[in-house]
Amino acid sequence: MAQRAFHYVGFQFKRLYDSLVGPFGGRSFRPKLFVSQVSLESDTVDNALRYAREILKWHVEETSMFQ
């Protein structure tokens, strides 16, 4: 279950990163974004999910401000 959660959060983070940076962001190359798994200890997973939740909240608040 933790492995699937890691992949889901990594995928969502990469998708958010791509939406913020754009296709090439005015550059002739696209920087690579690597997401790596550090640990599956329960404290680490909880903190990572809390942080991801905060990022998503910021994204929602930011998009609502500009509409």
pLDDT, position 27? 60
**Token pair for 38:** 């550090």
pTM for this predicted structure: 0.42
Tokens of 48: 């990572």
| pLDDT tens-place string over residues 13-30 | 888 877 777 666 566 666
36 token code pair: 């790596």
DSSP assignments along the chain, one per residue: -HHHHHHHHHHHHHHHHHHHH-SSTTSSS------------HHHHHHHHHHHHHHHHHHHHHHHHT-
pLDDT for 39 equals 60
pLDDT tops 80 at residue 11: yes
Q: What is the pLDDT of residues 22-53, one digit of tens each?
A: 666 566 666 676 777 666 666 777 787 888 88
